[in-house]
Each structure stands twice: as C-alpha cells, then as structure tokens.
C-alpha cells in the first residue's frame, strides 16, 4: 500500500518514464516477438516500473541478436536411418544426436573433415540407438563443455556405453528444463521439450530445440511424437520457424497438423535411411508437407544436407527432394 501511494504521488515522473519507454519500444518493436511486447506494454501500464526496467534489459540483448555478423551452418548428416545434426556458429559447435553405432566411421570422418575441434554442446535427444549409437565415440574423441540428455535411462548397451564415455571424461549429463535458453556464439536456443516427468514412449522424452540466429530459426524435434507436440503447443506461443526437422523420421506418430501449422516452416528436413525397415517416411506426413508446398530435403535422397543462415536468409547446398513415401 505504501509503495502504491508513493507511486501515485510521483505519477508525473511515472508518466514521463512511461513515455520514454514506450518510445523505446516503438523504435525497436519491429524486432520483438509480440508476447514480450505485450508483457512490456502491460508492465508499463501498471505500477511495476522495476519489471519494465528488467525487461528492457533483456529486450536490448534480444534486439542485438537480430543483427548478426557471420553465418550459422547446419549440417543434417547422412547417417542412414537415424539422426545427427551439426550446428556451427563462428568457433562454436553443437552436435544433436550421433546416429547408429554403424555410422561411427562416417560420422567421425565427417566431423574431422569439417575441422571440428571441440563442442560447446552435445545433445542426446533420447536414448534410442539411432540417435545415440555413435555418440559415445564422439564423446571419447572430442572435448565438450556440456552434454544435454533427458532424465530417462534404459538398460541397453548403447546407453551404458554413452554413460561410461561421459563418466570417463569426468562429465555429467545436464537435464535441460523446458523453457531454458542457451547460447551458441551469436545464436541462442531454447528447450521446448520434454516438459513432463514421465512418458510411455521413449520418443516423447526427446529434447526439442528451437534455435534462433538473427531473424532465422530452426526447430529440431528428435523423435518427439504428437503428445509432446501438444505439450509444446500448450507451453509456447511463438513456434514459427524457417526450418523444421520433421519428428521421428517422418513417421505418422509426429508432425501433427496443429504443430505443423504453428511452426509453419518455409523448409522441412527429414533424416531417414534409404530402404529402411521402419517404412519411414509415411504417406500421411509426406502429404501434409506436399499439400502445403513446403520444399522437403531428405538425407536418403540428398545425402548430407548443408543449410546456411546469414541471419536473414537461408540457403541449402542441394535441391529439394521428393515427397515419396514408404509406409502409409
Ligand atoms: Zn529415431
């Protein structure tokens, strides 16, 4: 009550500060997401000047992110039936998943040929073999700062190999919380999933990431299924992204229409093995992408796909692939 009275007495000062802040918002508002803007404007209209000041600080850094110098390079590595994605920004590197154990030699030689020396982040989206199969070899071979892994364990040799490799490096898994933001050079990425403590399907433990570089953004889904997509839709307002890595290799379990509409990608990528035994990708998913006219890049047709963002535009090193499917 005392604070409110004091603020009322200094209402002229408050109006003046409000005008300055609103002018600031108007100048930089074009680069803000509307939620943050709403929140700021709401704060300006209330007495909570302290919050406004806090938020403007984060806005300034957010605004700076939209002006980037250099490139973000994303490689969707052809690891057969599985996922492995290398992301680089300047000297900073991150690997999301490491394919099956069979792809070890191909994966390591690709990382070597790209001149990778260490990783800021290694991410194991979930403990299935087609995602962490060669991740233990990457861990053994490379120094890294942080390894992100969901809070779930399995009894497979693959998983044990990864745990042993991480332990032998004197490191521990970091369990990312939904909503947490990390920095990769001038890029930032936010954890969209998982947000629940337990799931029936291991796929839904998948760490889902939205990466932003300047005005470009990417969503990497691991094998998250529609249940996780629904949780993401319920938790985050702005899911729009330029590039969507389709969930679960284009299976029917993922890429629900609501999620696809919310992301509304300009480009889609599917990491899938040629003549795989899982019948991925499926007609259901391919039809959704085709009907929306979204160019689709696929590792079974294009091999390793390199995608470069300068913060404004995204270019691919290959032409888009077909909408051919294996299963229904
Ligand atoms: Zn998978």
Average pLDDT, the chain: 86
Out of 46-55, 118-127, 268-277, which region has the weakest mean confidence (pLDDT)?
46-55
Confidence of residue 52 (pLDDT cuts 50, 70, 90): very low
Confidence of residue 69 (pLDDT cuts 50, 70, 90): confident
pLDDT > 90 in the chain, percent: 78
Q: Which residues surround ligand 1, an ion (CB under 5 A)?
A: 130, 223
Residue 48 has pLDDT above 50, yes or no: no
- Torsion 127-133-134-139 (CA) sign: positive
Model pLDDT for residues 212-234, shown as the tens digit of each residue? 999 999 999 999 999 999 999 99
Tell me, in angstroms, the distance from the centre of ligand 1 to residue 81's CA. 8
Q: Which residue has the higher pLDDT, 57 or 293?
A: 293
Model pLDDT for residues 186-211, shown as the tens digit of each residue? 999 999 999 999 999 999 999 999 99
> What pLDDT, on the 0 to 100 scale, is given for residue 14?
56
Tell me, in angstroms, the distance from the centre of ligand 1 to residue 248's CA. 5
> What pLDDT, on the 0 to 100 scale, is given for residue 81?
96
Q: Where are the domains of the chain?
A: 2-65, 72-316
- Report the pLDDT averaged over residues 92-118: 98
Confidence of residue 276 (pLDDT cuts 50, 70, 90): very high
pLDDT > 70 in the chain, percent: 80
> What pLDDT, on the 0 to 100 scale, is given for residue 29?
38
Tell me, in angstroms, the distance from the centre of ligand 1 to residue 270's CA. 11
Tell me, in angstroms, the distance from the centre of ligand 1 to residue 296's CA. 18
Residue 6 has pLDDT above 80, yes or no: no
Confidence of residue 11 (pLDDT cuts 50, 70, 90): low
What fold does the segment set 72-316 form as a domain? Metallo-beta-lactamase; Chain A (3.60.15)
Name the residue with tokens 């509409």. Answer: 261
Residue 168 has pLDDT above 70, yes or no: yes
> What pLDDT, on the 0 to 100 scale, is given for residue 107?
98
Tell me, in angstroms, the distance from the centre of ligand 1 to residue 204's CA. 11
Residue 67 has pLDDT above 50, yes or no: yes
Tell me, in angstroms, the distance from the centre of ligand 1 to residue 131's CA. 6
Highest mean pLDDT among 4-13, 60-69, 84-93: 84-93
Residue 135 has pLDDT above 80, yes or no: yes
Residue 24 has pLDDT above 80, yes or no: no
> What pLDDT, on the 0 to 100 scale, is given for residue 43?
31
Tell me, in angstroms, the distance from the centre of ligand 1 to residue 238's CA. 26
126 Cβ neighbours under 8 A, 6+ residues apart: 132, 150, 152, 202, 203, 205, 206, 207, 222, 223
Residue 55 has pLDDT above 70, yes or no: no
Tell me, in angstroms, the distance from the centre of ligand 1 to residue 134's CA. 13
- Torsion 114-117-119-123 (CA) sign: positive
């Amino acid at each position: 009550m005392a604070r409110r009275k004091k603020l009322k007495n200094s209402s002229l000062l408050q109006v003046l500060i409000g005008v300055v802040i609103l002018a600031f918002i108007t100048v930089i508002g074009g680069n803000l997401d509307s939620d943050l803007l709403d929140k700021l404007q709401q704060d300006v209209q209330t007495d909570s000047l302290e919050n406004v000041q806090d938020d403007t600080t984060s806005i300034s850094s957010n605004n700076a992110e939209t002006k980037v110098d250099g490139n973000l390079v994303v490689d969707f590595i052809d690891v057969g039936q599985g996922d492995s994605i290398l992301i680089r920004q300047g000297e900073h590197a991150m690997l999301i998943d490491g394919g099956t154990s069979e792809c070890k030699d191909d994966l390591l030689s690709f990382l070597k040929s790209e001149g990778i020396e260490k990783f800021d982040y290694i991410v194991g989206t979930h403990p299935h073999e087609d995602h962490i199969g060669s991740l233990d070899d990457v861990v053994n071979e490379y120094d890294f700062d942080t390894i992100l892994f969901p809070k779930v364990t399995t009894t497979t040799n693959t998983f044990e190999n990864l745990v042993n490799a991480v332990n032998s490096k004197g490191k521990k898994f970091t369990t990312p919380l939904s909503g947490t933001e990390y920095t990769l050079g001038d890029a930032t990425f936010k954890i969209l999933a998982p947000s629940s403590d337990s799931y029936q399907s291991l796929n839904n433990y998948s760490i889902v990431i939205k990466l932003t570089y300047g005005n470009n953004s990417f969503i990497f889904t691991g094998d998250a299924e529609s249940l996780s997509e629904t949780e993401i839709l319920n938790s985050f307002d702005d899911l729009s992204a330029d590039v969507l890595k389709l969930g679960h290799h284009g299976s029917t379990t993922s890429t629900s229409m609501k999620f696809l509409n919310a992301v509304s990608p300009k480009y889609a990528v599917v990491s899938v093995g040629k003549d795989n035994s899982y019948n991925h990708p499926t007609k259901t998913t391919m039809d959704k992408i085709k009907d929306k006219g979204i160019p689709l890049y696929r590792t079974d047709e294009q091999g390793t796909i390199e995608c470069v963002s300068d913060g404004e535009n995204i270019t691919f090193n290959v032409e888009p692939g077909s909408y051919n499917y294996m299963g229904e």
